[in-house]
Amino acid sequence: MNQYKVFFLPDQKKIEVEEGLSLLEATEKAGLFIQSLCGGEGVCGKCKVQIVTGKAKIDKTALPFFTREEIEKGYVLACQMLVREDLKVFIPPESRIEEEQILKESFEMTKKEWMESPPFQYSEPDWISLHKRPSDPASLFEPLTFKVFLNLPTPTPDDNIPDTARILRELRKKLKFADYEFSYSSLKELFLNLRRSDWKVTVTLTRQNDVGKIIQIEEGQRVNQNYGVAVDVGTTTVVAQLVDLKTGRVMGVEGSLNLQSHYGEDVLSRIAYVCGKGSLEVLQKAVVENINNLIKSLTKTKGVKIDEITSIVAAGNTTMSHILMGLMPCSIRDDPYVPTVDLYPKIMAKEIGIQINSNGILQVLPSISSYVGGDTVAGVLACNMADRPEVSCLIDIGTNGEVVIGNNEWMLSCSASAGPAFEGGDTKWGMRATKGAIQKINIEKDEIIYETVGGVKPRGICGSGFIDLLYSLAKHRVLEIDGKFSKSLRDRRLIKGDHEMEYIIAFPEETEKGETITITQSDIDNLLRSKAAIFAAIKSLMDYSGLSFNRLEKIYVAGGFGNYLDVEKAIGIGLLPDLPIERFEFVGNSSLMGARMVLLSYHVLEKAMSISQSITNIELSKFAPFGDEYMASLYLPHIDRERLFPSVKF
């Protein structure tokens, strides 16, 4: 087969590929990240690249994605363009996933949330309060792996019990487990370890029910060399924290784009890849590589040895968790939406290729259902919802919006397919919250005042920008209550575009590429569908519980999106329920926080399992009232504004 050279601009990366490979696959090979919401199916139009040298080919079906100007300039969809000759290719900024920025952002958020004002305090000694509620079963600090130093008496004729019995005799003085087990690998070197160290050893244990499992025995005093990693395995980003398991302190945090992004942006396209033409192994390897890279970087920065990391806890949605564990996610996608596993067994991290101590363990947080995963369980843990008598609500707004309500006696969960409109998909100028994204918008008279990420010229609009925009458009009657552009309005910004009405947010002279950034009627329809799905999900759970919204004493908003959200405007468009603003709390990356809590406490792990098993999950597609709630929510803010959104004033 012929080999061709592809030269990527502006990165100046040159690679050689086999004939017939798609340009999307070629970027991946070159280590470049470009957007691909649909996973290379040619239907999202996000992977536009420009053929600078070579013959550009566009499928007829892809034509609607391009302007005349773009076609003339040689723009193509990278996923549809196959390499048949040497090419020079330019990747425009809007097609690029900007790894560095997402990274930094995650870090800043994490740092702010956990480093400066951690939700719980740690101090020596080992046995301290995690949550400061003595009655809370999560009140014990007991990391999933912990080390105990033993200064053993040397054997004598009067005391010649076996080495293992000698270790257990001392351990029993220090720990209170009903029983102990030695892993085979902990025994292999035991004879030498004991004798070379003059009977001074450090034992690493992990707990399973009432049994202390001895996974490692090291020579000498190594109690202070014990670290763990908490990982949020998001569909888009993977964020890892390095944690000192002796003190509970967070040593550092880093994030990266999920390398699986090459194979589709959302869980459904990842499943389609695994269960269709692709393979589970490829996606598993990708995310394991993410995690290994983060661990390498964190340990290098912090002067920690890989071998000193004895446990890792990962939280992710059900699909991400299945893929990480190497389990087929195919049945998640199809009615009746059955995952393979809910309670993931604790395994050796090396079994799936994660590089920590060779005896180190991996615990993946349990999931609730096919679309309510371990990340949601982690959120429930982080908000401590399941241990308090007052009823609260957790909302994670994403392509799938997960909602949990409940208290220490009952919990309900559901997931609504909201679509990617708030995440940069399904809209003409939508983008993620990376540099150049309009994230805040206010309309004053005829003027539009906006802020972009990074303060640069705008390149598109991200989720929080769309919420502001919808709110302002509704308030100024640009939009009718049904979300349609007002027929009677005369506004220089409201224009007739190629196929439909569009509203101009930024004129060409304001934007980076000299193009007109607009919101179209279709965009608004998609955004309304997204917000309707989420609100209807919350409303359905409340109705199922028989409680009114007012009974919610706390509403936790999770996800990267949350921090930039203007709650008042989110209520104004009918995305969030109409409750006093002080009841809302942004919990940031609660998935990572929950993962770390599990890492630091076996009791929290037990809690997580109990939440996973006791929560009642409502399958909205089978819950008849949801359809009506959804239809009623396709308005600004809602068809039943009087009753449900009395405080919204426009």
Under the rule (CB under 8 A), what is the footprint of a copy of itself? 155-166, 179, 181-184, 187-188, 190-192, 195, 209, 211, 325-328, 330-331, 335-343, 345, 347, 351, 367, 369-370, 619, 622
User: Distance between CA atoms of 202 and 50, rounded to whole angstroms?
Assistant: 59
Q: Which is nearer to a copy of itself, 20 or 153 (CB)?
A: 153
Single out the residue of 422, 230, 235 nearest to residue 319, CA to CA: 235
Q: Which amino acid is at 238?
A: V
Exposure string of 360-381, with b = 16+ CB inside 10 Å and e = fewer, is: bbbbbbbbbbbbbbbbbbbbbb
Write down the least CB distance from residue 195 to a copy of itself, Å: 8
Q: Which is nearer to a copy of itself, 36 or 370 (CB)?
A: 370
Q: Which is nearer to a copy of itself, 38 or 168 (CB)?
A: 168
Q: Which is nearer to a copy of itself, 86 or 281 (CB)?
A: 281
Name the pairing type of β-strands 179-182 and 211-219: parallel
Q: Which is nearer to a copy of itself, 15 or 328 (CB)?
A: 328
Write down the least CB distance from residue 273 to a copy of itself, Å: 16
**Peptide bond between residue 329 and the one before it cis (omega within 30 degrees of 0):** no
Single out the residue of 16, 545, 600 nearest to residue 312, CA to CA: 600
Write down the least CB distance from residue 376 to a copy of itself, Å: 15
Q: Which is nearer to a copy of itself, 157 or 455 (CB)?
A: 157
User: Distance between CA atoms of 285 and 258, rounded to whole angstroms?
Assistant: 11
Write down the least CB distance from residue 72 to a copy of itself, Å: 49
Write down the least CB distance from residue 542 to a copy of itself, Å: 23
Q: Which is nearer to a copy of itself, 139 or 206 (CB)?
A: 206
Q: Which is nearer to a copy of itself, 297 or 331 (CB)?
A: 331
* Residues 403 and 422: beta-carbon distance below 8 Å: no
Single out the residue of 314, 309, 266 nearest to residue 288, CA to CA: 314
- What does 108-166 look like in DSSP terms, one character per residue? HHHIIIIIIS-SS---SSSS--SSS-TT-GGG--B-SEEEEEEEPPPPBTTB---HHHH
Write down the least CB distance from residue 192 to a copy of itself, Å: 7
Sign of the CA dihedral running 11, 17, 19, 20: negative
Write down the least CB distance from residue 209 to a copy of itself, Å: 7
Write down the least CB distance from residue 569 to a copy of itself, Å: 37
User: Distance between CA atoms of 608 and 604, rounded to whole angstroms?
Assistant: 6
Write down the least CB distance from residue 49 to a copy of itself, Å: 36
* Residues 609 and 542: beta-carbon distance below 8 Å: no
Task: Determine phi and psi for 627, rounding to 5 degrees.
Answer: -60, -45
Q: Which is nearer to a copy of itself, 72 or 334 (CB)?
A: 334
CB atoms within 10 A of CB 279: 13
Exposure string of 26-42, with b = 16+ CB inside 10 Å and e = fewer, is: bbbebebbbbbbbbbeb
Write out 257-271 in H/E/C secondary structure. ECHHHHHCCCHHHHH
Q: Which is nearer to a copy of itself, 124 or 158 (CB)?
A: 158
Q: Which is nearer to a copy of itself, 134 or 336 (CB)?
A: 336
Write down the least CB distance from residue 602 to a copy of itself, Å: 15
Write down the least CB distance from residue 155 to a copy of itself, Å: 5
The encoded tokens of residue 497 equal 């575009």
User: Distance between CA atoms of 200 and 213, rounded to whole angstroms?
Assistant: 19
